Chain A
């Protein structure tokens, strides 16, 4: 039995995706604490349901899928991950079998997996074919949008023979997103620019996870009609679109976006000082932490909704 291999939307994911943010040093301490919590949660899932079927040795070759598999409570079966798979903490301790964009075929074969999860990209296509030729079962899932996430959770749960956990996880995550949406639903929708790179200026456009999460967070992406994925834009387009909030999810220095937009008081976000750095992994990974990404965005776009008392008003 071989699950359907999904290759919709083409394979050019990697080229347009901004690099994922590694964990900042400041977050590391917090992450360690959270990691222990998540560890105890994922490593001993609910107790009663202990599946005896399904693959026993799993390799996950993308941070998003790694997080999905761990969130499904199947983390202890993961025997290899990619170099960028840094969450949960237990995943980061698994053997690394190459990078997310370029997995090492021999490293994967060396740990003798009976199942490999990959996300399609131009960089790993040949490696995936080589694995399939070697007789390893490969399941390809997408991780670009929320719909991709729901689908990849269901596929992974089905393949791992825990379909109920998949439905439960989807339900729980959708509930978390709905909670964020409710929190800002009374607020007027704000015009937001989502910056992912500073020089040149690269923003999140149409069809991105970031744009979807922004909609959940009560914001409207002003670059929605500029282009798909991650278009490069000029400063004049920022002035013309007049965003009320600029979310700096860029990989540069802390002061990146502030430097780029310095002195542009004609832009409402700059004049009001609403240039907010958001460094949530959940913003860049279509994985189980998307709700945290949405919440971080909501805090940036509607800080009043998160003031003490502000929520009650």
Chain B
């Protein structure tokens, strides 16, 4: 198991309050710096004095920074944070290093539900859409988990395969809806598949941030139980963890995070895979630290990925899902090979 391997390599550091606060402050500082830097980077050169000095609506520089870039950068942060935090807990819960909301089809499930509600006529900005996306995410998590579970444990291969099936089913469902929907709606459907960030209102960014923060808080409360659960169900139960209740609660929280993120950004892959992994290698597997660290790290990662997507082609943009896939694809293969190798040695 890859998790076992990372535990071996990282020196067992006890989680002290000082370490927790120190790491989170460091990551928080990095995040703030990233948000500021990303807001100053873009295809259009801006004059800083005009951007910061002018009143709203007075100079183009001011409008570019505060009405175009900042809301988008913030949205990228919130979405990245949600996906990475969901990835971190799913990896622990499923005992599987390759768990990721995108690979498991959870993002796709959320997208299907969101698309159906949109095509049925819901306003794109109404809470119906994230609500439906949340339910779609929840249903897919449950389906993957139940489908891949044998003998009280989910095997890495089974879960990947079930995830592949869920993804394929969801993609087909989206294409089906697309075929039935009118042309007017088809354009909107495409967005869900591509995985792209765009400038949204501060109100919407704030709403997603509320979902994300609630989800993080909810999951963090179960971090200790998840730690025990990751070491083995029987052990966790004997130490007083209500296994089923914890599992349900964590699925619920992860689905909330993924649903909210997908409803505003479509299916952005690999954030939930890369970020928790890199951080686990550095910080160790204790979720009390790893979960909030992934939340902050995911925000940093997606903010920079989107900065690349906004600027690499000049004024024309790439969907950010393209950037994360290019970064995440090779990483995934490396991780898969590593996990297979470790698995063989352990046998």
Contact = CB atoms under 8 A, between A and B. Distances in A.
Contact of A19 (B42, B64, B187): B187
B316 A236 contact: no
B69 interface: yes
A22 B184 contact: yes
Contact of B42 (A236, A238, A251): A236
Contacts of A198: 187-188
Given A264-B63, A264-B67, A232 B316 contact: yes
Contact of A201 (B42, B194, B198, B318): B198
Interface in B58-79: 58-60, 62-64, 67-69, 72
A251 B184 contact: yes
A135 interface: no
A231 interface: yes
B43 interface: yes
Nearest to B67: A264
B184 A252 contact: yes
A199 B198 contact: yes
A227 interface: yes
B64 A240 contact: yes
A226 to B, nearest CB: 5
A41 to B, nearest CB: 27
Given A19-B183, A20-B183, A200-B319, A240 B191 contact: no
Contact of A227 (B42, B60, B186, B315): B315
B310 interface: yes
Contacts of B42: 234, 236
A251 B183 contact: yes
B6 interface: no
A226 B315 contact: yes
B155 interface: no
A144 B313 CA distance: 24
Interface in B189-232: 190-191, 194, 196-199, 201
B191 A236 contact: no
Given A233-B317, A251-B183, A200 B68 contact: no
Query: Size class of A's contact patch?
Result: 35 or more
Contact of A232 (B60, B62, B318): B318
B156 interface: no
Interface in A207-234: 225-227, 231-234
A22 B188 CA distance: 15
Contacts, number: 109
A205 B317 CA distance: 13
A253 interface: yes
Given A236-B44, A252-B188, A22 B183 contact: yes
A265 B184 contact: no
A262 B57 CA distance: 12
A197 B187 contact: yes
A235 B186 contact: no
Contact of B310 (A234, A259, A264): A234
Nearest to A255: B123
B131 interface: no
Contacts of A227: 313-316
Contacts of B60: 239-240, 242, 266
Contacts of B43: 234, 236-237
Contacts of A250: 187
A176 interface: no
Nearest to B43: A237
Contacts of A205: 316
A183 interface: no
B238 interface: no
A234 B187 contact: no
A274 interface: no
A51 B252 CA distance: 71
Interface in B227-250: none
Interface in B303-329: 310, 313-319
Given A200-B317, A231-B316, A232-B316, A263 B67 contact: yes
Interface in B152-206: 182-188, 190-191, 194, 196-199, 201
29 contacts: A18-B187, A19-B183, A22-B183, A24-B184, A197-B187, A199-B196, A205-B316, A226-B315, A227-B316, A231-B317, A232-B316, A232-B317, A233-B315, A235-B199, A236-B43, A236-B44, A236-B64, A237-B43, A239-B44, A239-B63, A239-B68, A242-B60, A251-B185, A251-B187, A264-B63, A265-B57, A266-B57, A266-B58, A266-B62
The 3 closest A-B pairs by CB, nearest first: A251-B187, A231-B316, A235-B68
Given A231-B315, A236-B44, 19 more contacts: A19-B183, A21-B183, A199-B188, A226-B316, A227-B313, A227-B315, A231-B316, A231-B317, A232-B317, A234-B42, A234-B69, A237-B44, A239-B67, A239-B68, A240-B44, A251-B186, A252-B188, A266-B62, A266-B67
